[in-house]
A and B are shown apart, each in its own frame.
Chain A
């Protein structure tokens, strides 16, 4: 009876681990899509209203808890404090948030590219930079989504299989 209970626990927990890993793969495309929406809003703020950067970032960031919201809000706060120029502020915000996000190094580098000339060029150039970053994020998102579907399924099965294997070995 105890053995059976142990076996259920082992299979159950490894299944849960597999699910957690699988979910982290679907997190990335979600976060990328949030970032893409945020950049689209930022584009509107800059092209139509010419809103100053720190305010535009806050407005474009969307939900506070989201990764996009966190990066945009942190960058905005640093810019408003005047301690760092906008490009550097953006870099700091991306680097600090990266570790708690599901983004990859490739996504991080795409985001970091946005820091070049941030806030120190004309609106036309600024909009070009936004469009460039958004395109690259979109490409990353498509790749991430394809990968997520495949890999998530694999991890879910792998979790259960490993659990079952361990049970068999111990039995």
Chain B
């Protein structure tokens, strides 16, 4: 067994992980209902109750040149989700655009730095309101494609994401963002891990509809994300107003900087913790 990539245990004699073990593991993860996770398998991961994500590797089956499913699954990567209330305490004041709006914000970091944890807490604080900053709380719509932000189980969020929050669970985020605007009239739309062209198009729609947008993206810096082909158009049009950069420097969730996304300059010289 590998914990966080390191071999922690050296059993003697070694235990050989068999095909049967892999199948049993998969069945337990899928609660004996693999058919319910077909779309997830196509993406290479399954999100289980509690918002934990299990990445899978095996042999890809193609149909008409597109990934139809995964078979002979042999490896699992279990990422345990943590909910940290107050993860966004240090950044909220830079994201609020008085009196009742948030800046269009992009949270940037490499994997495993706490983007989802931060964006979840932003959703909660924006929704409940932040009395210390005089922010009254607004309607929040979450397009939760991977069921990681709200970790919905049977339609009920398992995490605290705010009293004025509507969650559209497991919906492709590009369509989800537009659906939320049409159906729930949110003041803020929140989504995770943008990266496709259709996401960028949907984001433009959201921003032009007078709705604030908070999203996350993989990347090491603002420049790196701005160079990503699918997201380039958002930066050329100066769509984002704030960028929060996270790192692993003091463990996951370390806030490296809050930048003005248009100029690339930090909005504060105070330490962010």
Q: Quick check: A123 and B32 within 8 Å, CB to CB?
A: no
Write the chain A residue with the least CB distance to B170. A50
Q: Quick check: A53 and B33 within 8 Å, CB to CB?
A: yes
Say whether B184 faces chain A, with CB atoms less than 8 Å apart. no
Which residues on the B side are within 8 Å of A54 (C-beta)? 31-33
Say whether A51 faces chain B, with CB atoms less than 8 Å apart. yes
- Within B1-45, the residues touching A (CB, 8 Å) are 23-24, 26-28, 30-36, 38
Question: What is the predominant secondary structure among interface residues of chain B facing chain A?
Answer: helix
Say whether A126 faces chain B, with CB atoms less than 8 Å apart. yes
Q: Quick check: A119 and B30 within 8 Å, CB to CB?
A: yes
Q: Quick check: A53 and B32 within 8 Å, CB to CB?
A: yes
Q: Quick check: B31 and A52 within 8 Å, CB to CB?
A: yes
Q: Quick check: A121 and B32 within 8 Å, CB to CB?
A: no
Residue from B34, B69, B154 within 8 A of A119 (CB atoms): B34
How distant is A10 from chain B, measured CB to nearest CB, in Å? Answer: 55
Number of A-B contacts (CB under 8 A): 54
The count of chain A contact residues (Cβ–Cβ below 8 Å) is 22
Question: What is the predominant secondary structure among interface residues of chain A facing chain B?
Answer: helix
Q: Quick check: B33 and A52 within 8 Å, CB to CB?
A: yes
Say whether A89 faces chain B, with CB atoms less than 8 Å apart. yes
Which residues on the A side are within 8 Å of B36 (C-beta)? 50-53, 123
Say whether A120 faces chain B, with CB atoms less than 8 Å apart. yes
Q: How far is the CA of A34 from the CA of B40 in the complex (A)?
A: 34
Residue from A52, A56, A82, A125 within 8 A of B28 (CB atoms): A82
Which residues on the A side are within 8 Å of B27 (C-beta)? 85-86, 119-120
- Within A35-58, the residues touching B (CB, 8 Å) are 46, 50-56
How distant is B42 from chain A, measured CB to nearest CB, in Å? Answer: 11
Write the chain A residue with the least CB distance to B23. A120
Which residues on the A side are within 8 Å of B154 (C-beta)? 55
Q: Quick check: B31 and A79 within 8 Å, CB to CB?
A: yes
Q: How far is the CA of A51 from the CA of B154 in the complex (A)?
A: 9
Write the chain A residue with the least CB distance to B154. A55
Q: Quick check: B32 and A119 within 8 Å, CB to CB?
A: yes
CB pairs A–B below 8 angstroms (17 shown): A50-B35, A51-B36, A54-B31, A54-B32, A56-B33, A79-B31, A82-B28, A85-B23, A86-B27, A89-B32, A119-B30, A119-B33, A119-B34, A119-B35, A120-B27, A120-B34, A121-B35
**Contact residues of A with B, CB < 8 Å?**
46, 50-56, 79-80, 82, 85-86, 89, 118-123, 125-126
